[in-house]
Chains A and B, each alone.
Chain A
Amino acid sequence: EVQLLESGGGLEQPGGSLRLSCAASGFTFSTYGMSWVRQAPRKGLEWVSGISGSGGTIYYADSVKGRFTISRDNSGNTLYLQVNSLRAEDTAIYYCAKHAHNYVRGTSIDYWGQGTLVTVSS
């Protein structure tokens, strides 16, 4: 059974940083692309970043480029999102999501984690 368990969210001040983690199990982690998708309170879904199975190909939404960094540890089956220079508009539930193939572009997202809440406020 595929399981994705996010952690690392919390309350942070504007300009602050957090490191989100996603522990994956139930599949061969290194052979699937992964993404982070966020959802602001009472809003829709926004894709944030994606990374290929090997970690060699990475994509970002323009809204987070230069502030967020996606990475993965295939030996530890964990996906990360380093979020820096946080803004109020980054407040959201951050979901870890698995792609159906090794790459990101052109592939479906087939599993989602339960999410971790990031709140940016002074």
Chain B
Amino acid sequence: DIVMTQSPLSLPVTPGEPASISCRSSQTLLHTNGYNCLNWFLQKPGQSPQLLIYLGSNRASGVPDRFSGSGSGADFALKISRVEAEDVGVYYCMQALQTPYTFGQGTKLEI
């Protein structure tokens, strides 16, 4: 199975400041079609996860442009340019290259 490792696991931030989360996989997530099979999700308190970023760097519909995804192969990052209060929750990366799909441990963003 592909192991996903996130850091940090806890991220205290100040509103208006930037934030960054790292996600590393135990093997490359680059598909033969040239896309990185890496998603980012946000699970707000008491809610189900919601898709933020797909294929490593594509924002999902309705996601504010302060969120961006980057990286390739086995090293990825999620960046928030200016954190807002509504961004609190747990962020997960997930590899979608092969089954079983696997998730990072989660990064709890707190203000």
Contacts and interface: CB of A to CB of B under 8 A. Distances in A.
Interface of A: 35, 37, 44-47, 50, 59-62, 95, 100, 104-115
Contacts of A104: 99
Contacts of B103: 44-47
| Residue from B60, B98, B100 with most neighbouring chain A CB atoms (10 Å) | B100
B13 interface: no
B100 A47 contact: yes
Contacts of A50: 99, 101
Interface size class of B (residues with CB under 8 A): 20 to 34
Contacts of B104: 44
B48 A115 contact: yes
B80 interface: no
Contacts of B92: 44-45
Q: Give the 7 A-B CB pairs with smallest separation, nearest first.
A: A47-B101, A108-B54, A59-B99, A112-B48, A45-B103, A61-B100, A44-B106
B50 interface: yes
Given A45-B49, A45-B94, A112-B48, A106 B31 contact: yes
A108 B55 contact: yes
Given A45-B106, A108-B96, A110-B51, 15 more contacts: A44-B105, A45-B92, A45-B103, A47-B99, A47-B100, A47-B101, A50-B99, A61-B99, A105-B97, A106-B37, A108-B37, A108-B39, A112-B48, A114-B48, A115-B48
A110 B48 contact: no
A112 B99 CA distance: 18
B28 interface: no
A105 B98 contact: yes
Nearest to B47: A114
B98 A112 contact: no
B7 interface: no
A108 B106 contact: no
